[in-house]
Amino acid sequence: MKRIAILLSGCGNKDGSEVTEAVSLVIALSQQNCRLTFFSINKDIHPVHHLTGEIQTSEKRNLIAESARITRGPCHDLKNIILNDHDALAIVGGQGAAQHFSNWSEMKSKAEVQADVLKTIQSFHKAQKPIAAICIAPAVVACSLKGLKINLTLGLNPDDNAEVNKTGCEAIECPSNDFVSDRDHKIISTPAYMNKASAFDVYQGISGLAQELVEMA
């Protein structure tokens, strides 16, 4: 049984993890009989109203607690992750990854990665344990491993791909029902909702990514 650490950034595509992507990943890895452990960072945020798009400045929510809305069980503080307890890492997309795991939304290729996220990605990569990244999350991986010529995807948008290339990685165009696998660096990515896609397209891409992740692990 492969042990997979799943990194979430809250609950909801406008300020946290994209729920369809998260659930698709959980189902796909469950089909592979994996043991899943969930993590997030201990950060309070102002949530976004998902109907109006307005930031709710009068309210604060914690990313670990919000991520637990998806996990149906415990979600742990990422700073306490133990590398040797896991065979692989999977990072779910959504705006939370671009805003809370990094400042990619503002800085693009010059983005800085949150300290616990950076340490985790670099530790898994150094240990040659595979990393899967969904939607915008490959940008966080690219910024964490700058200078390495890693093949990954943010989908079909040329502007996004140009920013990824500035990190030293190589952006590969990819539809949402497929994935890109860099077997040398053990990085797997799929664009999900970075492209205009159906939920089934997203699930197909994530299902393929999950199978590749388990095989690498």
Q: Is the pLDDT of residue 55 over 90?
A: no
Average pLDDT, the chain: 97
Locate tokens 């069980």: which residue?
73
Helices (H), the chain: 19-31, 63-71, 95-99, 104-107, 115-126, 137-144, 158-166, 199-216
pTM above the 0.95 mark? Answer: yes
Q: Using CA atoms, how far apart are residues 48 and 187, in angstroms rounded to an integer?
A: 31
- The whole domain housing 193 covers 3-216
Q: State the pLDDT at residue 58.
A: 87
- Residue 38 sits in a domain of what CATH number? 3.40.50.880
Half-sphere exposure of 113 (CA within 13 A, CB side): 20
| pLDDT (mean) for 165-179 | 98
CB 164 within 8 A of CB 138: yes
d(CA 12, CA 151): 28
HSE-CB at 9 with a 13 A cutoff on CA atoms is 31
Query: Which position among 34, 135, 143, 174 bears the catalytic label?
Result: 135
* Residue 135 a catalytic site member: yes
